[in-house]
Amino acid sequence: MITYNDVMEPDNPFVYGEIVGAGAFADRDAERARLARDLAAGQKVFLISPRRYGKSSLVRDVLRGLARRKVLTVEVTVASSSSYIGFLESYARALVAAETPASRLRRWAGELLQAVRPELRFDADPLPGKSRFALAFPAVKTARDTARLAAEVFALPGRIAAARRQRMAVALDEFQAITAFDGGSVEHALRAAVQDQRAVGYVFAGSEPSLMERMLGPRRPFYKAGPVMRLEKIEPGLFAKFIDSRFSASGMRPEPGLGEAIVELAANVPYDVQRLAHETWDDVKAGGRKAVGVENLHATLTRLLGEQHTVFEESWQRLTLAQRAVLRALVLEDGRELLSADVRTRHRLPVASSVQSALAALLRQDIVMKEEGRYLVSDSLYREWVARKTY
Ligand SMILES: Nc1ncnc2c1ncn2[C@@H]1O[C@H](COP(=O)(O)OP(=O)(O)OP(=O)(O)O)[C@@H](O)[C@H]1O
Ligand SMILES: [Mg+2]
């Protein structure tokens, strides 16, 4: 239902914390075109970037485009499963359900998975957001059963594409989680299966660059399995213009330089850019204003820092003293030259080897990330909090 209010008052045009749809999607034209082309050609693509750069949004957008071209599309988040068998179940379910009418699900699942006899459950009244169709493999007990099941499930995309005479595109998101399941055997089984599936494109998207890069190393199954896309940040000038134009299109008047200031404060991490824009928009809207400037941005930043204070304080208190000192120095020195004698003296840091292990610990905890030889705090709000609230 469209109410008077919906017509008069545009919604907040900025989205964060979920996959962005067409309207809030900035740039990525070259990446979209390339990924779509590779998937349609049946390539096995690796998509790698640090967290919150926009992998899932890009993948979703490309799959939507492929679906319009009659490609069967399937998307599964590997990290959502708590076990290998759980992953196989959710993957098999997604494959079987791809554009299959509910009336045909049972027969289709039976035909496809004869050899492993799944248990099917149909829920007449599913919870919101839950599927009405679940699939389990209760007979699978030993490691050998699991391996046999995996081979069967990993072969499914090829069989489905052949049976339906359609090309298929499969996205396995948070793919780095696969390494936790079952030593190297999962990688072997999956690689062996996908390489003969000519009609099926795969994108393996992962957000822990070091884990993903290791998986592509010379002694691992996925070595040279397909093209690797390393997703970079969005070009800052373009992103800034995009932000300004979204403010304007929603009836506000951004002061010149606002988009640029947002992108800069967010260290150009897409999630952080959208968060600052979204929250600033809300505050200005609540104030009943149309003009938005850098002052509004700073007022919003102050509010957000206040709201996050407890969370940041807890995170800070979990750090060792050396880690705190290194984190603070990293913020104040813009992430450079942290091992140099000069910086260590200025910030009373311990010996270089201790600085190094503190940095490694901060990286492991995802508090810090590395970009072109420089260390950055992953969350730009946390960076601002450390700069202002710690000593
Ligand atoms: N092309 C884009 N244009 C505008 N904003 C974007 C774009 N891509 C991502 N974002 C912003 O970044 C946020 C994170 O995007 P997304 O979840 O796709 O990233 P991700 O790389 O999959 O992150 P994670 O590693 O945490 O899964 C989105 O909610 C959105 O705010
Ligand atoms: Mg993601």
pLDDT digits (tens, 9 = 90+) for 317-363: 999 999 999 999 999 999 999 999 999 999 999 999 999 999 999 99
Asked if residue 380 has its Cβ within 6 Å of ligand 1, the reply is no
Ligand 1 pocket test: which of 52, 172, 245, 268 has the largest number of ligand atoms within 8 Å of its C-beta?
A: 52
Q: Tell me the three state secondary structure of residue 34.
A: helix
Whether 169 and 39 have beta carbons less than 8 Å apart is answered as yes
As a whole number, mean pLDDT of residues 17-35 equals: 90
pLDDT at 2 > cutoff 80? no
Residue 195, phi then psi, degrees to nearest 5: -70, -25
Candidate from 123-127, 151-155, 240-244, 375-379 with smallest mean pLDDT: 123-127
CA distance 267 to 279: 16
As a whole number, mean pLDDT of residues 36-61 equals: 95
pLDDT in the model for residue 377: 96
pLDDT in the model for residue 130: 59
- Tens digits of residue pLDDT in 163-211: 999 999 999 999 999 988 876 789 999 999 999 999 999 999 998 878 8
Asked if residue 378 has its Cβ within 6 Å of ligand 1, the reply is no
Could you give the residue range(s) of every CATH 1.10.8.60 domain in the chain?
Answer: 234-318
Confidence of residue 131 (pLDDT cuts 50, 70, 90): low
Antiparallel, parallel or unpaired: β 228-230 and 200-206: unpaired
- According to CATH, what is the number of the domain 234-318? 1.10.8.60
Could you give the residue range(s) of every CATH 3.40.50.300 domain in the chain?
Answer: 28-230
Whether 380 and 272 have beta carbons less than 8 Å apart is answered as yes
pLDDT in the model for residue 305: 97
Nearest CA to ligand 1 atom 9: 54
Q: Residue 385: which of 377, 89, 188, 292 has the closest Cα?
A: 377
Could you give the residue range(s) of every CATH 1.10.10.10 domain in the chain?
Answer: 319-391
As a whole number, mean pLDDT of residues 102-128 equals: 79
- Tens digits of residue pLDDT in 247-295: 999 999 999 999 999 999 999 999 999 999 999 999 999 999 999 999 9
pLDDT in the model for residue 290: 95
Token digits for 260? 């640029």
Ligand 1 atom nearest 15 alpha carbon: 31
Pick the CATH number of 319-391 from 1.10.10.10, 3.40.50.920, 1.10.3720.10, 2.40.70.10: 1.10.10.10
> What pTM does this model have?
0.90
pLDDT in the model for residue 4: 44
CA distance 47 to 58: 10
Pick the CATH number of 28-230 from 3.40.190.10, 3.40.50.150, 3.40.50.2300, 3.40.50.300: 3.40.50.300
Asked if residue 20 has its Cβ within 6 Å of ligand 1, the reply is yes
* Cross-strand bridge partners of residue 122: 133
| 333 CA → ligand 1 middle, Å | 27
Token digits for 353? 């080897």
Confidence of residue 106 (pLDDT cuts 50, 70, 90): confident
pLDDT in the model for residue 209: 79
CA distance 389 to 81: 38
Asked if residue 277 has its Cβ within 6 Å of ligand 1, the reply is no
